[in-house]
Amino acid sequence: MLKLIGLGLNVYGITLEGLIEARSCEKVYVELYTSIIPGLTLDTLKKVIGREAIPLKRKDLEDECERIIREAGRYDIALLTPGDPLIATTHISLVIEARKKGIPVRIVNSASIISAISSATGLQIYNFGKVVTLTRSSPPSLTVYNVVEDNLSRGLHTLILLDLDVEKGYWMGISEAVDILEAMEDEVGRGVFDGDRLALGVARVGSMDAIVKADKLSRIKQYDFGGPPHSLVVPGRLHFMEVEALLCLVGAPQDLLKKS
């Protein structure tokens, strides 16, 4: 059997189910390239799950997919992944290939920024529209602009995930992201990423030292959010409880909220 087990959002983010399943496997692999869990290394992971996990790079999982599936046909193997296992779309092909070969697959869920963004910000999950990822690209793609504009036109919030490439040691910070959004605004000029737009900078959601700041887009980029991962949220129409939450929980400037 192939077990995909989520590690959640911090060093102790694996569920009891995940721990039990990982311990019962013959072999435990881990990939730490689809996202970053603050403080999680092979050493801390070993302390938490009580056994060695074999690290897999992106290339390993792509090139040795066949071998891993063959292994899963002979005995139970686990693949630990940051967050919730299939939020990173990369692993669905592994699951499909395994199932095509008749290998049972089990997914053990854990916390993901997709739902945790709601507790981090106080914004209601029912008011979020489509999620989008901002990547570095040249020429810049306007996907993020269009998604946020479309969500805003419906009064919906947008979670913007920021690109990272752990293996190349690169992660996009909030200030780089805002620079890209401002450049889009200069190009398109429909006001989606106007400097006065209310936005939330969110760092390390779900970990002990998470930081969330609500402010104008032009000011958000001046904060020091510390280490990765970073994200942005562009709120749509705010329910009064969401206004209260932004004021009380993330210290949003009162004058900004009156405007929305």
Which residues form the interface with a copy of itself (CB under 8 A)? 4, 6, 8-10, 12-17, 19-20, 48, 83-87, 89, 92-93, 95-96, 99-100, 107, 109-112, 114-116, 118-120, 122, 124-133, 150, 154, 156, 206, 241, 244-245, 248-249
Query: Least distance from C-beta 145 to a copy of itself, angstroms?
Result: 15
- Phi and psi at 161, nearest 5°, equal -80, 145
Task: Select 14 or 221, whichever has its Cβ closest to a copy of itself.
Answer: 14
Q: How far is the CB of 229 from a copy of itself (least distance, A)?
A: 14
Q: CA-CA distance, 234 to 21, in Å (whole number)?
A: 38
Task: In angstroms, give the least distance from the CB of 196 to a copy of itself.
Answer: 25
CB 164 to a copy of itself: min, Å: 16
Write the CA distances from 30 to 18, 76, 225, integer angstroms: 13, 14, 27
Nearer to a copy of itself, 159 or 217 (CB): 159
Beta bridge partners of 164: 171
User: In the complex, what is the shortest distance from the CB of residue 151 to a copy of itself, in angstroms, rounded to a whole number?
Assistant: 9
Strands (E), 49-177: 54-55, 77-81, 105-108, 132-134, 158-162, 164-165, 170-171
CB-based contacts of 45, cutoff 8 Å, min separation 6:
7, 11, 30, 53, 80
- Tokens 């989606």 correspond to 192
Do 118 and 238 meet the contact criterion of CB atoms below 8 Å apart?
no
- CB contact at 8 A, 56 and 6: no
Cα–Cα distance between 77 and 79 in angstroms, integer?
7
Which of 133/175 has CB closer to a copy of itself? 133
Q: Which is nearer to a copy of itself, 15 or 218 (CB)?
A: 15
Nearer to a copy of itself, 114 or 257 (CB): 114
Of 158, 174, 186, 168, the closest CA to residue 226 belongs to: 174
Least Cβ distance, residue 100 to a copy of itself (angstroms): 6
CA torsion sign, 193 to 196 to 200 to 202?
positive
Kindly state the smallest distance separating residue 63's Cβ from a copy of itself, in Å: 19
Adjacent-strand bridge partners of 107: 4
Residue whose CB is less far from a copy of itself, 100 or 259? 100
Which residue lies nearer to a copy of itself by CB, 129 or 221?
Answer: 129
The position carrying tokens 């056994």 is: 51
